[in-house]
Structure 1
Amino acid sequence: MKLTSDTIRAEYDWVHERGPTVVPIVNTVRADLGDAFETTVDPIDVGQYHDAVDAVFSDGDRAVNVAALVGLLRDLDVPGDYPGFVVDELLARELAAMIAGEQPLRLLAEATFHYADVYIHGDPDDPAGLDDLDAALAAGVQTRLPGWDWQAGDSPFGVDP
């Protein structure tokens, strides 16, 4: 894999165009987690997804790493899938975290990836990493975007020096 500005732009375009596939996953995950935590979580739309993707790829240092993980997952395949199960989960979990941002969002995105991954099953002809890629995009974006009550205000644990 060779990463250039053109490669990163191509991966950005691919991720951006994936909105109609990823947004319903985000909204399913948000609704289910909202039910589990007895709260309402705002759904997102494709415009918000595009804004999140734009923000991630506008940070060049983050963009090069996100593009690499997206490219790897799009092409990753292992006959029988199980032997490759660990590597696609590892790459996808890191992608979700990278999209989400810094701690504590990184950790939340990693956990959410495993939850989202339960919903996604690719077609038999798809590379093994593609369903994990969609789950990672959904987990990272859903974590990055507001909509959770706990994100609506300042943390009560901050110290005013």
Structure 2
Amino acid sequence: MQLTPDRVDAEYEWVRNRAPVVVPLLNDTRRQLGTLFETEVDSVSRDVYKEEVDTVFADGEVAVNIAGYVGLLRELDVENDYPGFIVDEILGRELAATIAGGQPLALLAQATFHFADIHTHGEDGENAGVDDLDAALAAGFQTRLPGWDWRERDSPFSRE
């Protein structure tokens, strides 16, 4: 794979245009996690998702890494799928973390990726990495976007 500015632009467009698949998965993940943690979590619109894709890809250093993960997962296929289980999990986890940003959100996105991934199944005939890609996009963006009460209030550990 060669990453050029044109390839990064193409992956950006693909991620942005994936909103009809990613946003329902993102919102479903939020709904399920909200139930588990007994809290209300705001849903995300397609427009908000697209705006956040724009924000993430505006940082060239982040964009080139996200484009690399996206390109690899889109193209990844393993005969009988299971032998490739580890590589698509690693790529998906790292993509989610990269989208979410630095710690602690990166770790949270990685954990959320695994949660979203078990609820995500690709279409027949799709490459094995595509469902992991969708789960990673949902996990990364749901983690970085507002809507969780604990992220909306000041931390009791902040020094002002």
**Segments ≥4 residues shifted beyond 3 Å:** none
Identity %: 61
- Paired AA for residue 105 in structure 1: L
Q: How far 1:124 moved relative to its partner?
A: 2.7
Q: How far 1:4 moved relative to its partner?
A: 0.6
1:98 match: secondary structure: helix
Q: Which residue of 1 aligns with 2:121?
A: 121
2:6 match: secondary structure: helix
Query: Where do residues 9-158 of structure 1 align in structure 2 (5 Å cutoff)?
Result: 9-158=9-158
CA distance in 2, matches of 1:149, 1:97: 21
RMSD of the TM alignment (CA)? Answer: 0.7
Cα distance per residue 1:65-109 (max 9 Å; x no partner) = 000000000000000011100000000000000001111100000
Structure 2 length-normalised TM = 0.98
Unaligned runs of 5+ in 1: none
Structure 1 length-normalised TM = 0.98
What is the number of residues matched between the two proteins?
Answer: 160
- Paired AA for residue 9 in structure 2: R
CA distance in 2, matches of 1:156, 1:48: 29
CA distance in 2, matches of 1:119, 1:76: 20
Q: How far 1:159 moved relative to its partner?
A: 2.4
- Paired AA for residue 103 in structure 1: Q
CA distance in 1, matches of 2:81, 2:21: 22
Unaligned runs of 5+ in 2: none
Q: How far 1:117 moved relative to its partner?
A: 0.5
Q: How far 1:27 moved relative to its partner?
A: 0.7
CA distance in 2, matches of 1:76, 1:49: 25
CA distance in 2, matches of 1:155, 1:60: 30
